[in-house]
Amino acid sequence: MPKAYIGLGSNLDDPARQVLSALKAISRLDGVRLLQRSKLYRTPPMGPADQPDYCNAVCVADIDIEPGELMQSLLAIELQAGRVRGVQHWGPRRIDLDLLHVDGVELDTPELKLPHPGIAKRNFVVVPLAEVAPDLVIPGLGSITQAALEIDTADLSDWN
């Protein structure tokens, strides 16, 4: 059974609660067995600065479904939480779920790119990913632990 790595983020309506609620929803998906989650991290927004800080985490799950089906389920969780995609790029959001990587899968379709092309640029993904999967090697990136050692973490802190 391959492992899937999912990034979670929120900066609206009690962000930590939104992330934890999304984790619970992921754990209830058919064909998905949640194995582990990182601690919660605080980061400033990537986009417009006039929005609250983000609460971010990463989880890992065994999956018995196709990556595309998992992505559709993640989008449904976002929709259920009130997320409307396409309103403002990198704007505030109640929940953001990104399928980051699935073991043994490389995809480049309009609907889904795996591994996620932004992993290496985002400390709020690299650091929690290294926390839950220190031995992970991602095609095109290499060792996630090495990436975590090399990425700037000055604006990354624990969510309190």
User: Each residue of 124-140: pLDDT tens digit?
Assistant: 999 999 999 999 999 98
Looking at residue 85, what is its pLDDT? 66
**93 among known catalytic residues:** yes
Which residue, among 139, 85, 86, has the nearest Cα to 114 in the 3D structure?
A: 139
Q: From the candidates 37, 42, 94, 98, which is the catalytic residue?
A: 98
DSSP structure class, residue 84: -
Q: What are the tens digits of pLDDT across the range 33-80?
A: 999 999 999 999 987 888 999 999 999 999 999 999 999 999 999 999
Q: Is the pTM of this model over 0.75?
A: yes
Q: From the candidates 37, 42, 93, 122, which is the catalytic residue?
A: 93
Cβ 34 vs Cβ 59: under 8 Å:
yes
**122 among known catalytic residues:** no
Q: Which amino acid is at 82?
A: G
Q: From the candidates 37, 42, 94, 96, which is the catalytic residue?
A: 96
**50 among known catalytic residues:** no
A 10 A CB-CB count for 86 gives: 5
Taking the alpha carbons at both ends of the chain, their separation in whole angstroms is 34
Q: Label residue 86 by pLDDT band (50, 70, 90).
A: low
- Domains of the chain, first to last: 3-155 (3.30.70.560)
Q: Does residue 111 surpass a pLDDT of 80?
A: yes
Looking at residue 89, what is its pLDDT? 63
Q: What are the tens digits of pLDDT across the range 92-101?
A: 889 999 999 9
Cβ 124 vs Cβ 9: under 8 Å:
yes
